[in-house]
Amino acid sequence: MPALLPGTATLGVLGGGQLGRMFVHAAQALGYRCIVLDPDAISPAGAVAERHIKADYLDPVGLAQLARDCDAITTEFENVPALALQTLAGMRVVAPAAASVAVCQDRAVEKAHFEAAGVPCAPHAVIGNDIELAAVDPALLPGILKTARMGYDGKGQVRVSTPAELAAAWEGLKRVPCVLEQLLPLQRELSVLIARGADGQIVNYPAQQNLHRGGILAVTEVPAPDLPAEVQALAVGAARQVAEALDYVGVLCIEFFWLQDGRLVVNEMAPRPHNSGHWTMNGCDVSQFELQVRALAGLPLPEPRQHSASLMLNLLGDLWFGDAGGPTPPAWDRVLALPGTHLHLYGKAEARHGRKMGHLNITAETPEAAHAVAVQAAAILGLPADF
């Protein structure tokens, strides 16, 4: 496919969430028009795109409209039906491909892909029936039982320590197909973002250190503090292997566990930009969203250059519910008085507990300076400073 040059094409997005919104902003900055398909009449991405098609992801009329009016189409989240991407691919360029997204939608299939790509993952067992439940190796306990599909941000996950707890947890998850992962002694959680073009060109950002609270990403630091060069190289190499084995096109995030014994194992992947890459919007010369646009349009992919030490704080709706009862906006004026702070709110109409409302990027000349400002911002916002 010849490149879709800026100012000459329209790009489509399946999904109207915040990742779609930031993709649209990046595409528009390059001169592309954007159309969003999302069933929600009020969505963050639909509010900023040139056009919003209000339709279900499998609605044939909506998909036909999107294909008719766009030159290339992507998705902003992994749980869009792969069939929708497959249908669109019969009419337009689609990236990532339906087959790649389908792998990321099923933890069991995903782990099989990791193993086939030669990338180690945590010891695990697939549980889909009573026979597989009974056959689980006790050595996998304690572990985390995860639904094979539709689990994200800690949802659909239960920690279990005994066979009895495992059986009860599977019942509690309605006996849907699950993956039991052995609980491993972690040193850090890391992630690597790569972008790969249809021509096989591939670029990456440095490994990112992540902190989760309640299964939801809370903090990302780049450069990852005290990360040995050999672990950095292993993570980047593994991420590239996974992408190449998928023949992936677009932005892909691979999450890793760096274990206390020094080993690196892959956790999961997301076929899209990722929360842990939001720092690139202010800490790099090219953001993850611009790389998503470039990969979709067939433009060259520059090797990203980090120009500032960066730290990202995830902002959940809980911040709007303080002592006053709320919802009340946090003290953004005090936060933005701090040096190197960059606020990104997602345009969501209603703040709710646990809902991702935005993120705060902090940039500085040194990691220590970025960390110090982040601690001040966290204190203003009432966030833990356990990073």
Binding positions for ATP: 107, 146, 151-157, 181-184, 189, 212, 267-268
Distance CA 34, CA 25 (A): 9
Largest Cα–Cα distance in the chain?
A: 60
Which residues participate in the annotated binding site?
A: 107, 146, 151-157, 181-184, 189, 212, 267-268
Question: Helices (H) and strands (E) in the chain — how many of each?
Answer: 12, 18
Contact 140, 125 (CB under 8 A): yes
CB neighbour burial string for 248-286, b if at least 16 within 10 angstroms, e if fewer: bbbbbbbbbbbeeeeebbbbbbbbbbbbbbbbbbbbbeb
Distance CA 247, CA 234 (A): 20
> Residue holding tokens 């669109």?
88
Backbone phi, psi, residue 302, to 5° = -75, 145
The one-letter code for the residue type at 177 is: P
Backbone phi, psi, residue 115, to 5° = -65, -40
Nearest alpha-carbon partner for 205 in 286, 265, 271, 266: 286
